[in-house]
Structure 1
Amino acid sequence: MGQKAYGWGWRLALALSLVVVTVLTVTPARADEDEPESVGPYPGTVSQQTGYPLGDAVRRLEKAVRSNGLTLVATVNSGGRGATGATVILVSSSDYWGRILKANQLAGMEMPIRLYVADNGNKTAAVIYRTPSSIFALYDSPELDRLSGELDQVFAKVVDDAIGE
């Protein structure tokens, strides 16, 4: 009996190993170089590489947030460098927030929206965020869909103004 169980255990481990290797070797589709890459565990998460170090990318984003009529709620730094260096920029808009609350009171908890800036460790950083339309899609509201579509364009412009060439 022990030998049979041992044999099944090896077969199961081999089968699981083959599944893991197969999953790990599948290469995800990449966005064109001029398009943001879709990343993360959630749909609507985009990432754009910058040619700027973390601090410069953060300052440029803060400036672009303000110049696009949004409110910079807070900037929170991890304090790390390289693989542990990251900053979260919390962005809101009184106008949009009021309209979102009017469309769905509970959806107001999704504001402010986060821009995550990660140090790549090679004197460049990446800007990662979830599109407002992906955040508010959970509420299944045509009015929120319309508002978040507008916000998608605003956030794309903020990122483009900050890191676009």
Structure 2
Amino acid sequence: MKALWAIACLLVTPAWADEPLSGWAVFQTDKSYEELVTDTKAAVKDNGLIVVTQAGPTKAAAARGITIPGNLVIGAFNNDYAVRVLETSTAAMIEAPIRFYVTENNDGTATLSYKTPSFVFAPYVYEGGKTLTDIASELDTKFQDVAETAVK
């Protein structure tokens, strides 16, 4: 019985692999990885946010002689949002900065994705209430604008 379940899961998994994860926004592009990284950082700034963090394994792997596709997480936020979120929920600030994820595809193009701020802050609404929900909605719009600017 377990073997049949495992086989059924393997057969279904590829169909799920093409679907975005719940709470994620995904933008396929024709841009190269390097171009999309540059454009995402510029779009963050152009839309009133700040690149707070950057992390990815690609360069460190290359330094070890390992080649992997481009992969970078870009954390974006600003102090205005930080102060406003803290006024509603101290615990919610663990989620800041909210991250964009740039990944290189096998065909040389790149994808920009992120968890929507509403999804990220949803677990804290019990504490932050409607005010936190409103901030997350503002950030949803801001992150959508960043993504649309970056992928143009």
TM-score, normalised relative to structure 1: 0.77
Whose Rg is larger? 1
Which segment is superposed worse, 79-88 or 122-131?
79-88
Q: Which runs of 4+ in 1 moved over 4 A?
A: 80-83
CA apart distance, 1:29: 9.2
Which segment is superposed worse, 130-139 or 47-56?
47-56
User: Which runs of no fewer than 5 residues in structure 2 stay unpaired?
Assistant: none
Contact 2:28-2:111 at 8 Å conserved across structures: yes
The separation in 1 between residues aligned to 2:10 and 2:118, in whole angstroms, is 30
Partner of 1:10 in structure 2?
Answer: none
Contact 1:85-1:118 at 8 Å conserved across structures: yes
CA apart distance, 1:113: 0.9
User: Which runs of no fewer than 5 residues in structure 1 stay unpaired?
Assistant: 1-14, 31-36
Partner of 1:56 in structure 2?
Answer: 35
Matched, 1:154 2:142: yes
The separation in 2 between residues aligned to 1:28 and 1:74, in whole angstroms, is 30
Matched, 1:91 2:70: no
The separation in 1 between residues aligned to 2:99 and 2:118, in whole angstroms, is 13
Partner of 1:115 in structure 2?
Answer: 100
Candidates 110, 125, 143, aligned match of 2:131: 143
Matched, 1:38 2:20: yes
TM-score, normalised relative to structure 2: 0.83
Aligned residue for 2:106, secondary structure, equals: coil
Spell out, residue by residue over 1:75-107, the C-alpha distance to the aligned partner (whole angstroms, 9 max, x if none).
334215874420111101111111101111221
Contact 1:110-1:135 at 8 Å conserved across structures: yes
CA RMSD of aligned residues (A): 2.0
Aligned residue for 2:16, secondary structure, equals: coil
Contact 1:100-1:144 at 8 Å conserved across structures: yes
